[in-house]
Amino acid sequence: MIKSQIEPTVEIKELVKDVKSPITFDSLIQIRDLMYVKIIFRPYDDSTREQEKAIRWKRTAGEILRDGYVYSEKACTDLTVLYIALCQALGLETSFVKVKNGERVHSIAEIKLDDGWYIFDIFRKNIPVKGLITPDAPFAGWQLWQKGRDAWDIGLTSFDDINKIII
């Protein structure tokens, strides 16, 4: 049984096989770009809302890559999980970070390079940012909720788990 969303599969390892060592700031962007070549954004609207809820926080990185899609506006966890798995395949230390701003929630990666930790929000243009998210150091208006290996590690396994965060 799979215990982690971020276990690197053969396909994940293959996707990053040409990323050169040592891994640098620019490599983090290269990894993101490799991921985006393989993933399409499906629309998130009334016709897809239930489909998205059915998969939210349930897929592994390997499944996300194999499926080849995420839902627009609801993709941060899937993309962060896949991104972290790609980094893990390269031997990087990572953290999955769940943050909140009121009732809004978001997923962000923290990646350790030789010169320190970097915060990587897959959707931000000014990426990555050196540092760590802590209760005393929020990121771009987002407050830390929890950190872990992946979404499952911090107790997020289905759509209803959103209540754990926003309460």
CA angle 122, 126, 127 (to 5 degrees): 45
Share of the chain above pLDDT 90, in %: 86
How far apart, in whole angstroms, are the C-alpha atoms of residue 13 and residue 17? 6
Q: Give one word for 90, left, alpha or beta, with left for phi > 0 and alpha for psi -120 to 50.
A: alpha
What pLDDT does residue 98 have? 97
DSSP tag of 46: T
Q: Which CATH number fits domain 10-166: 3.40.50.850, 3.10.580.10, 3.90.340.10, 3.10.620.30?
A: 3.10.620.30
Residue 90, token pair as written in the block: 């390269």
Residue 82 has pLDDT above 60, yes or no: yes
| This prediction's pTM | 0.95
pLDDT band at 2; cut points 50, 70, 90 = low
Q: What confidence tens digit (pLDDT) does each residue in 89-130 have?
A: 999 999 999 999 998 999 999 999 999 999 999 887 767 899
- Segment 120-149 shows an average pLDDT of 91
Where are the domains positioned within the chain?
Answer: 10-166
Share of the chain above pLDDT 70, in %: 98
What pLDDT does residue 3 have? 84
Beta carbons within 10 angstroms of residue 99's beta carbon: 23
- Segment 2-22 shows an average pLDDT of 94
Q: Where are the beta strands (DSSP E) in the chain?
A: 40-42, 69-71, 93-101, 104-113, 116-120, 129-130, 143-148
pLDDT band at 134; cut points 50, 70, 90 = very high
Q: What confidence tens digit (pLDDT) does each residue in 30-52 have?
A: 999 999 999 999 999 999 999 99
What pLDDT does residue 1 have? 55
How far apart, in whole angstroms, are the C-alpha atoms of residue 89 and residue 86? 5
